[in-house]
Amino acid sequence: MRESAGSTLIRGIGELLTCSGSGPDKLGLRRDAAVVVEAGRIAWVGTSTSAPDADRSVDLGGRAVLPGFVDSHSHLVFAGDRSREFAARMAGERYDGGGIGVSVAATRQASDDELRALVAARVAEMRAQGTTTVEIKGGYGLTVEDEARALRIAAEFTTETTFLGAHVVPAEYSGDRAAYVDLVTGPMLAAAAPHARWVDVFCEPHSPHAFTEEEARAVLVAGELAGLGLRVHGNQLGPGPGVQLAVELGAASVDHCTYLSDADIEALASSAGTTVATLLPGVEFSTRSPYPDARRLLDAGVSVALATDCNPGTCYSSSMPFVIALAVREMGLTPGEAVYAATAGSALSLRRSDVGRIEVGARADLTVLEAPSHLHLAYRAGVPIARALDLPD
């Protein structure tokens, strides 16, 4: 977002979703709306007829406007190509988390400039589809130097950077997992922490490559001691301890949540939004797996977020509109619930109140649709109708 030298009135908004409303759906839907933006922040929100004067104005001709999407889970720092693995999986092979090693090898070989260019292209691709905030994890280096490098590069694009040395146990440590956990919680964490806001762990006893509850706990506790916030990949491939561990340690988010027990849902609900359940239905789509039971989470009062998990193995889609369409079509969310989860919900999972909503003081991160209503996001699946709104200087 460029800083604006003056104020800009954005009018002709046919439908505005603020995602900071006071009604039961919290969407704050307004028709014939206008927004004033100044110095990169929202300065005023109201109806077109009562809009104040501004230094310049932009007319959106009846299009719908929503908060820019907040993609709170992505793995953008990687090199290499795994499209063949996807094709093989579509032909019937099962995913067990093992293909990450292919990306690790390619990422270690890439130069800083190559990685930087790859991340830049992916962030631009996201913005072109309406995403204005992105969280970026490391996790394809798995050495002290490579994880620090991944986060240093990620930090050039976002403040939401996540240390994921505990993505998988790399092949060279398969005979001595304890030594790898010691590396992650010791020198690798020390090198990565200056460039990271969060620490994350792939807690998945169903994958021989991922981490057990005990190992995950060690990683999270060490990360917290280093000043990082906590995130967890949990309950993706089967029932497991990830959700309970995340809630117990006060993690901001537990992501995937595909296999949940009643006790898991109760724990998430009783955390009252401290631990958000982040759903990544692009992964279920791309691995042809059962979708999480999102309705059960929402009906229990759990705070739910949507994100892409954009990564080379299990979901190489950077598209939040695609995720919204899946949430509506496959998980039974209403279009409004899906938009809320992809904006204010995912902002909560990053503990941010300045993004994911349109209200005075929030960042001027707006997404505009080539459509009169947010209903078109799922209705027109696969059509590029969403883009981040570029404001004049």
Residue that is written with structure tokens 């109806």 in the block? 47
Q: Which residues pair with 36 in a beta bridge?
A: 9, 44
Q: Which stretch of DSSP H or E encloses residue 162?
A: strand 161-166
Q: Are 89 and 390 in contact (CB under 8 A)?
A: no
Question: Least CB distance from residue 219 to Zn ion, whole Å?
Answer: 15
For residue 367, what are its two tokens? 């997404």
* Interface stretch with Zn ion, choices 92-100, 149-157, 304-312, 340-348 (CB under 5 A): 304-312
CA distance 388 to 368: 6
Residue that is written with structure tokens 């496959």 in the block? 330
The only residue of 309, 313, 319, 323 in contact with Zn ion, by rule CB under 5 A = 309
Q: Which residues pair with 211 in a beta bridge?
A: 203
* Interface stretch with Zn ion, choices 64-72, 85-93, 221-229, 309-317 (CB under 5 A): 309-317
Which of residues 315 and 333 has its CB atom nearest to Zn ion in the complex? 315
Question: Least CB distance from residue 253 to Zn ion, whole Å?
Answer: 11
Backbone angles phi, psi at 386, to 5 degrees: -105, 140
* Residue nearest to Zn ion as judged by C-beta position: 309
Question: Least CB distance from residue 232 to Zn ion, whole Å?
Answer: 10
Q: H helices of 56-170, where? A: 83-90, 100-109, 112-127, 144-154
Q: Count CA atoms within 13 Å of residue 375 on its CB side.
A: 5
Question: Least CB distance from residue 284 to Zn ion, whole Å?
Answer: 13
CB atoms within 10 A of CB 299: 11
Question: Least CB distance from residue 25 to Zn ion, whole Å?
Answer: 29
* Interface stretch with Zn ion, choices 82-90, 289-297, 305-313, 329-337 (CB under 5 A): 305-313
Binding string to Zn ion for residues 81 to 110, with x set by CB under 5 A, is what? ------------------------------
Question: Least CB distance from residue 184 to Zn ion, whole Å?
Answer: 16
Binding residues for Zn ion, total number by CB under 5 A = 1
CA distance 301 to 282: 23
Which of residues 8 and 314 has its CB atom nearest to Zn ion in the complex? 314
Q: Which stretch of DSSP H or E encloses residue 318?
A: none
Chain center to CA of 194:
21
CB atoms within 10 A of CB 44: 16
Question: Least CB distance from residue 73 to Zn ion, whole Å?
Answer: 6
Question: Least CB distance from residue 197 to Zn ion, whole Å?
Answer: 16
By CB under 5 A, is residue 200 in contact with Zn ion? no
Q: Which residues inside 48-67 make contact with Zn ion, applying CB under 5 A?
A: none
What's the helix, strand, coil split of the chain in %, to 5?
35, 20, 40
Binding string to Zn ion for residues 254 to 293, with x set by CB under 5 A, is what? ----------------------------------------
Which of residues 8 and 72 has its CB atom nearest to Zn ion in the complex? 72
Q: Which residues would be at the binding site for Zn ion (CB under 5 A)?
A: 309
